[in-house]
Amino acid sequence: MELYLSLTSVQKEELKTGFNHLLQNYSVRTKNSLSAISIEEFILDFLCFSDDKLLKIKNFGKISLNEGIEFKHRLKRKIQKLSSIPKEQLEKERKLNKYGISNNEFCISFYEKHDHFPMFWILEQHLKHDKTRDIEILIDLFPIFQNKPQHTLEEVADKQRITRERVRQIRNDVFYKTFEITDDIIDYKNKSILLKYVQLLQNKNDWAYILDVIGEAEIVSPISYEIQEKLKKEECLFSVEFVLQIIAYIFRDEFAIYGGFDVNNRDKSWKSIYLIRKTLTKIFDFEKMKEEFNNKLVDNTTDYLIDLENYIANTQSWKQFDFDKINEITKVVKDLLLHEFGLYSEDIDGNLIKIPANKERNLLDVVYEILQTKGEPMHLDEIFVEFKRIMPEHKYTQENNMDRLRPYLQRHDDITFRKRSSIYILKEWRHIRSGTIRDVILEFLLANDLPQTVETITEYVLQHFPETNQKNIHSTMFSGKNFVQFKDGLFGLVSKEYSLKYEAIERESQRKSFEQRLTDLEKFIVENEHFPFSSSEDKEEESLCRWWCRIVSGKQTVNETQQKEVERIKRSYTDYDVDKNAYEWNLNYNKFKMFILENRRVPSARGDEKFLYGWLRRAKNDFLNYRLSEEQRKKYIELAKLI
């Protein structure tokens, strides 16, 4: 007993492991009885006493006595052996066994030379020899190894013979339960194969040598010479990006990660991955700083210099201003500007940063200037010809995609349309009528208390649209829901009341043509910034949604010309929501983000802020359970960083 009490904590931990291993050599009855008590209880109450005392163990029985006696003798020898092994050697052997690399010559030699194990090499061996589908998917989709090509979800789906969505779900689940930086309590359930990776990363002491490699650096980037050299020494083929992800995972209390691995790889806001000390990220918003410089570069028209230290001292990116940290923040920002924007110092002291003029002009300004220079209405075809001449290197020019300009023309505050045949004008041109023929008819009938003849209406419309004719005007009123027809060829408005002497003509409701429907659809998208929803309270919106669904699903036949228009709508408005839930989620996201930016706090669970508070809780729950789309997950992560 005294020998046991003299053991170190490391030796006792090894003895506990040996205790459990010894039990595996005996019958189920013996094993269950002895494993029901702790090793310390067994040693203190039974090991040094008579063998008969074993019978006092619950459910032990005489049948197990011989096995119990043998177990006692083997455990005594185990204690004697452990007490004679030096602590350092025992610790090394315990870790080698723990990491599944016992008797590995490279590890033993590395440990003896560097006084620590090559932890990245050990992790690499586990990943390289893990043939489970989940880990294979993770390796195929993330840049974990140097010079290993990344694959798309579709390619991995073909390889694994499962659906793309299933690949995405597995990737998200495995990453969340292995290398994603989160403080959430994770339920592994049947994913014991993943638990070994988490256990490998739990002991900070085994990884502490990495902090010595980083030294006092406030920021670590993928070009870190120290990290690259350490990987060479460990003979490890991990990418530096993955190594930084691991460091941020293990030492999350010391470093914040920017541009790290994410299950959402589209439109990453950071070009590279960085680790920045949390002592700095707690007082300074580097995300906001990056956005500020991005805006400077986009909006800048002439080259100029800024004093970076002076800029840092006065920027709104401070969360908590600390005069003593200005120099450290400046050094980090200088590194970020170099790697993210290619901006570098222009002076010996390194504080003057050149902000170059943006050579690519704002697209909205370009389309406005094209119309202003022309001085008269232009068809979209004409506008695009000028656009290609002015911006030959622009991606829309390279794609030769005229329809990509249409949304910009329709969103511009100073541009409007004339008719609906892709003719655009400037709102400042008061002498040119904007809008549609229908708008002019409505204007005329609203100004007259009595129904009007087609001839009178046509005379007024031709003043604004001389290129039309009476037949087109009559067709517009006859098919429009705003108009009512009376006897004697008179027309009025449904919204107005007329004398009873005017007898309305009942007409059968006519189905709108494809072209009319498409015009209504495009007008709806531009005005509402989303496609029509099926669950809308507006019957017209529901009807438009049903029609569009029939078109895109192929249930309604269209000719070749009409199909081209369908494809144009899809291309032009590809960024607009087609699902009501997604649209409302984005609306609430924008409201929540605006609240955070304006109030610099999370909404209260009471009062007017209760709804936003509840939305955040639902969004977090959906995020953790992978119920958000990839785009929504990205937005939630951005929001979490603000909080």
pLDDT digits (tens, 9 = 90+) for 8-32: 555 666 666 767 777 777 787 777 7
Q: State the pLDDT at residue 185.
A: 58
Least confident of 98-112, 122-136, 277-291: 98-112
Of 275 and 48, more confident: 275
For residue 251, what pLDDT is reported?
A: 93
**pLDDT tier at 4, thresholds 50, 70, 90:** low
- pLDDT above 70: percentage of residues in the chain: 83
Three-state SS for 289? helix
Q: pLDDT class for 536, splitting at 50, 70, 90?
A: low
For 549-562, what is the mean pLDDT? Answer: 82
The predicted model gives 127-144 an average pLDDT of 90
Encoded tokens for 83: 């007490």
Residue 3 or residue 527, greater confidence: 527
Tokens matching residue 175: 């990453």
- Does residue 542 register a pLDDT over 50? yes
Q: For Cα atoms 78, 79, 83, give the angle at the middle one, nearest 5 degrees.
A: 120
59-73, 234-248, 490-504: range with highest mean pLDDT: 234-248
**At 268, is the pLDDT very low, low, confident or very high (cuts 50, 70, 90)?**
low
Closest listed residue to residue 92, CA positions, set 104, 80, 83: 104
Report CA torsion sign: 343, 349, 352, 354: negative
Domain ranges across the chain: 2-85, 118-258, 283-355, 363-426, 437-493, 514-572, 580-642
Higher pLDDT, 402 or 183: 402
Q: What is the mean pLDDT of residues 603-626?
A: 80
CA distance 545 to 553: 12
Q: Which pLDDT does position 18 carry in this prediction?
A: 67
Q: With 50 as the cut, is the pLDDT of residue 193 above it?
A: yes
Confidence category of residue 248, pLDDT binned at 50, 70, 90? very high
* Global pTM value: 0.50
pLDDT-derived band of residue 266, with 50, 70 and 90 as boundaries? very low
**Contacts of 373 by beta carbon, 8 Å cutoff, 6+ apart:** 386
CA atoms of 14 and 10, how far apart (whole Å)? 6
Q: How many CA atoms lie within 13 A of 395 on its CB side?
A: 1
For residue 382, count CB atoms less than 10 angstroms from its CB and return exposed for 0-12, middle for 13-18, buried for 19 or more: middle
Question: Is residue 577 predicted with pLDDT exceeding 60?
Answer: yes
**Residue 456, C-beta contacts closer than 8 angstroms, at least 6 positions apart:** none
Q: What is the pLDDT of residue 325?
A: 92
Kind plus residue range of the DSSP H or E element containing 258: strand 255-258
Contacts of 115 (CB under 8 A, 6+ apart): none
DSSP-derived letter for residue 450 is: S
More confident residue, 381 or 210: 210
User: d(Cα 283, Cα 457) in Å, to the nearest integer?
Assistant: 68
Query: Could you tell me the pLDDT band of residue 188, with boundaries at 50, 70 and 90?
Result: low
**Residue range 118-135, pLDDT digits in tens:** 999 989 988 988 888 999
- Whether the pLDDT of residue 267 is over 50: the answer is no
Residue 139: pLDDT over 70: yes
Measured in whole angstroms, how far is the alpha carbon of residue 564 from the centre of its chain? 33
Q: Which class is 363-426 in CATH? A: mainly alpha
Amino acid found at 264: N
pLDDT score of 245: 93
For the cut 60, the answer to whether the pLDDT of residue 265 exceeds it is no
Could you tell me whether strands 274-277 and 219-220 are parallel, antiparallel, or unpaired per DSSP bridges?
A: antiparallel
When pLDDT is cut at 50, 70 and 90, the band that residue 273 belongs to is very high
Averaged pLDDT, 153-165: 90
Question: If DSSP codes are grouped into helix, strand and coil, which group holds residue 354?
Answer: strand
- pLDDT given at position 201: 86
pLDDT of residue 413: 73
Mutual angle of helices 105-114 and 87-98, in 10-degree steps: 140
**pLDDT exceeds 70 at position 155:** yes
Please say whether the structural domain 437-493 has been given the CATH code 1.10.1660.10. no
Give the pLDDT score at 105: 80
Structure tokens, 424: 């655009």
Q: Round the average pLDDT of the chain to a whole number and report it.
A: 79
Q: 427 vs 224, which has greater pLDDT?
A: 224
Which residue in 128, 112, 132 sits closest to 120, CA to CA? 128
Q: Which two tokens stand for residue 325?
A: 């940290």
pLDDT one-digit tens code per residue, 199-238 = 788 878 889 999 999 998 999 998 888 999 999 999 999 9
Q: How confident is the model at residue 283 (pLDDT cuts 50, 70, 90)?
A: very high
Alpha-carbon distance of 470 to 436, in angstroms, equals 15
Place of tokens 């802020």: 609
Residue 314 banded pLDDT, cuts 50, 70, 90 = confident
- In Å, the largest CA–CA distance within the chain is 122
User: Which pLDDT belongs to residue 368?
Assistant: 82
